[in-house]
Amino acid sequence: AVREVYGSLHPILRVAVASTTLAEKELVITDIRRTPDDYSAMGLTPRQSSLHYQQHNGFVHAVDLRTIGHSEFRNFLLEIGLKVMGFQTIRHVGTADHLHVALPTGN
């Protein structure tokens, strides 16, 4: 099941995550593919569109990476590194502290 979900991630994001693990051995993916039911299960209103949904090309265009339990400096470097690679990043803090990483809109 893990391979199937990981295989659904856009190849460019797969390469970026794999490359990032070379520098950050403790990188943890917390979410890749979602459905509207997943949002409901989390107590959130299902989104009409999400880059975590399978896109028109058959791939998911977003991944969430764990930031909770890591230093702010490490999380800052992770976010900046992915931005430099050209990805969109959004840091969600709170109980579900994570970094949302996505292909630039329109890809």
> How confident is the model over 57-97, as pLDDT tens digits?
999 999 999 999 999 999 999 999 999 999 999 998 866 88
Please tell me the distance from the alpha carbon of residue 63 to that of residue 52, in angstroms, as a whole number.
7
Write down the pTM of the prediction: 0.89
pLDDT at 91: 94
Q: Which has the higher per-residue pLDDT, 95 or 49?
A: 49
If pLDDT is split at 50, 70 and 90, which confidence band does 27 have?
very high
37: amino acid identity, one letter: D
Please tell me the distance from the alpha carbon of residue 16 to that of residue 87, in angstroms, as a whole number.
9
